[in-house]
Structure 1
Amino acid sequence: MKTDYYEILSVERTASDGEIKTAYRKLAMQYHPDRNPNNPEAEEKFKACSEAYSVLSDADKRAAYDRYGHAGVNGAGGFPGGGNPFQGQGDLGDIFGDLFGEMFNMGGSGGRRPSRQQRGRDMQFQMKLEFEEAVFGVEREITIRRAETCDDCKGTGSANGKQPEACQQCGGRGQIRSQQGFFSVARTCPVCSGTGSVIRNPCTTCKGDTRVTREHTINVKVPAGVEQETRIRYSGEGEAGRFGGPAGDFYVVLDVKAHRFFERDGDDLHCVIPISFPQAALGTEIDIETLDGTETLKIPEGTQSGREFKLRSKGVPHLNSHGKGDLIVEVRVQTPAKLSKQQRELMKQLSETIAVENTPHSRGLFGKVKEMFS
């Protein structure tokens, strides 16, 4: 035995047309297949509530159903030919227009008069920064051209600030519906372009657009520690909305130039310093240029090429936080390409005192080879 239509929609038998419509909309939104993919139970409930509404929303069918039950409608609430919930249901198409409008945020709700308000377009500006500016932060003023609300018409688009009139073609709904077989098809009104209203006497300044283009200056504050392609958002600083709609946002995208020798890894900095063989063998102290000034780095005796030294807190400030990264200095022993006659003789004498067995070793054992020089 089929379930009672009133029970399916959870309404009383004395429910008004509005109550029935509201109950159906709620259930259709809950069980719609697009919201419940691969859920046969939800699909069956969706079909059941659509079938119930198709009968109870029609005065003649509802009267017959109230008197004779399911036999009184002779399957009129069913979906012949594969369960099409639109078949033979003019008002049901309106319900689904409302339903899909809400599900996909396509503007307007339930066939009501649409709002002319339109959100302004977001804008983007690429700002080039020196490496040091990204590390320490910087403040700049930039000038952009953007659409702003027309002062003459106060954003209405009409001369003398008059409000737009309701479109007579669509009755202010923004859509024109036509019946095509079993379907009720809605299309955008060609007169008002879907806004539901028209401007009879456009503003001479903005030509009815509600906005004009002007230059605008924005003070951009770049915090210390930003990276390449960091985006800074300024809410409401984009283009003005139309017909009283909210303004868009303005985004500053940072393009940071590379440093001449520092490489950045997160908040740490890396660089390579060449040293001579005597410096590596005997040890020395060298001056290192950092972003905060010159620091002295002690190279211990017997330092191997490729060894890294860490200068703490000499890196990049942590963005919107305390502290800094580190500076990692890698030393590389530089072999001279040319030697003088005196240098060559001295190197020969030195080589006679240092013996190295030139036999292959695995990479994992290379550390033991280094010990031979320490």
Structure 2
Amino acid sequence: MAQNDWVSKDYYGDLGVSSKASQDEIKKAYRKIARENHPDAKPGDTAAEDRFKKAAEAYDVLGDEKERKEYDQFKAAVGSGGFGGFGRSGGPGFPGGFRQTQSDFDVSDLFGDRSGGGFSEDGGLGDIFGGLFNRGGGARGAARPTRGADVETEITLDFAEAAKGTTIPIQLTGEAPCNNCHGSGSRSGNPSTCGECSGTGFTSENRGAFGFSAPCSRCGGTGQVITDPCPHCSGTGTVNRTRSITVRIPSGVIDGQKVRLAGQGEAGPNGKPAGDLFVTVHVRPDRVFNRSGDDLEVTVPVSFAELALGDTITVPTLDAPVRVKVPAGTPDGRTLRVRGRGVPKRGGEAGDLLVTVQVTVPKNLDAAATSALRTYAQAERDSGFDPRADWAGSKRK
């Protein structure tokens, strides 16, 4: 992100710390926010994902002492000293008791949107603000990015891979560190200190009653210049190439969830930190299993005899099959719970396996089976069992 984009940012507020916070306090605040709002911890929560991204962006700047110093200087210039102060009654921005009334003051005059304004200097204050914020016809160039671009990609996993977690290799094409100069952009690997800003990344300028601090136009706010550019990357420190990385997908991801890999995005220019990689996971449906949170659901076909007499059946899981006891007299459609054989959770635990039994009726019976079943049916009637006893009456109530 360029320094001129810092105007609208409140990185201290995004991390919930004061501008006097120590580096250790900043790190702790970032880790707490990242842990609580990580896409893995709150899948599908867009508000948490936005908070997570804001905290990551803030930490990229405030977590680096040099970047933090530049950010503080820039915000101080924008917030007070850089713009003096616009007062309607002789403020620091208008010395000598100058008064500007509401009727003849238009903020558009400041940015050169109107011609003939009384505040023009070489085309109006739009030239001044344009140089600082890269607006209008300002002569200053935009500050260079402080990190590489984020990258988004997608992968598709089988149901079991998503539930248990896996590692998968992917190929990405984009900006990567130059192998020749190791990302510095310098043939010798040693960029020089910028003589324009003495390595601070900022220059000061006075125009009439206004004083401005802006990113150095020569080094783009980095404080360094490349005097011996690398021939392979033309001094940028990055080259476009295809690289292969291994992505670790944690257990329990759901369809559409994003996994963030910090620092695996595109390389930053001239040794700046890389961006992040966001992997959107798609999950193929399974013909046997469904999920309900961390619980694994499976419907098992059984016979009437197994339910009536009770039995022990074999049920598949994500790993080895398990034996499940079906109590005698179990009704069709009942769900049996097997603890700890569901989807793995963080910390080594797992959800449960929910086994729903469903009677399957045979389509063809041989003579012996038919005779035996008729004998049973008669015995059932003789015992007084009526599966529809009180059924019609209960339906009318």
Partner of 1:275: 302
Equivalent in 54, 68, 77 of residue 100 of structure 2: 77
The correspondence for 2:340, drawn from 301, 310, 313, is 313
Q: Distance in 2 between matches of 1:81 and 1:204?
A: 56
Q: CA deviation at 1:23?
A: 10
Q: Show the 5 A alignment for 1:1-374.
A: 25-26=79-80, 49-52=86-89, 57-58=93-94, 62-63=95-96, 65=97, 76-80=99-103, 84=107, 86=109, 88-90=118-120, 93=125, 97=129, 101=133, 114-117=142-145, 119-150=147-178, 205-206=232-233, 210-318=237-345, 320-352=346-378, 353=381, 354-355=385-386, 356-357=388-389, 359-360=391-392
- Give me the whole-angstrom Cα distance separating, in 2, the residues matched to 1:78 and 1:298: 88
Work out the CA distance in 1 between the residues paired with 2:77 and 2:319.
69
Q: Once the 2 structures are TM-superposed, how far is the Cα of residue 114 of structure 1 from its aligned partner?
A: 4.5
Q: Which amino acid aligns with 1:122?
A: D
Q: Which secondary structure state, in structure 2, belongs to the residue aligned with residue 305 of structure 1? A: coil
CA deviation after TM superposition for structure 1 residue 208, in Å: 6.4
Q: Distance between the aligned counterparts of 1:277 and 1:50, measured in 2?
A: 89
TM-score by length of 1: 0.58
1:56 to partner: Cα distance: 5.2
Q: Against the structure 1 CA distance between its residues 259 and 219, is the aligned structure 2 distance closer, same or farther, given a 3 Å change threshold?
A: same
Indicate the SS of the match to 1:79: coil
SS of the residue 2:333 aligns to:
coil
Structure 1: runs of 5 or more not aligned: 1-21, 30-45, 66-72, 174-190, 366-374
Quote the Cα distance in structure 1 between the aligned partners of 2:235 and 2:82: 40
CA distance in 2, matches of 1:23, 1:255: 46
Alignment RMSD, CA only?
A: 4.8
Percent identity, please: 30
Kept in 2, the 8 Å contact 1:50–1:85? The answer is: no
SS of the equivalent of 1:133 reads helix
Partner of 1:180: none
Shift of 1:314: 0.8
1:7 maps to what in 2? none
Q: CA deviation at 1:151?
A: 5.1
Q: Measured at CA, do residues 363 and 274 of structure 1 come closer, stay the same or move farther in structure 2, by a change above 3 Å?
A: farther
Deviation (angstroms), 1:308: 0.7
What CA distance in whole angstroms lies between the structure 1 residues aligned with 2:227 and 2:396? 84
> One-letter code of the match for 1:240?
A
In 2, Cα distance between equivalents of 1:156 and 1:245 = 9
Shift of 1:238: 1.4
Deviation at 1:271, TM superposition (A): 0.6
The 1:347–1:324 alpha-carbon spacing in structure 2 relative to 1, beyond 3 Å, is same
Q: Say which SS state the counterpart of residue 255 (structure 1) adopts.
A: strand
Q: Work out which of the two has the higher radius of gyration on C-alpha atoms and give 1 or 2.
A: 1
Contact 2:147 2:273 in 1 (8 A): yes
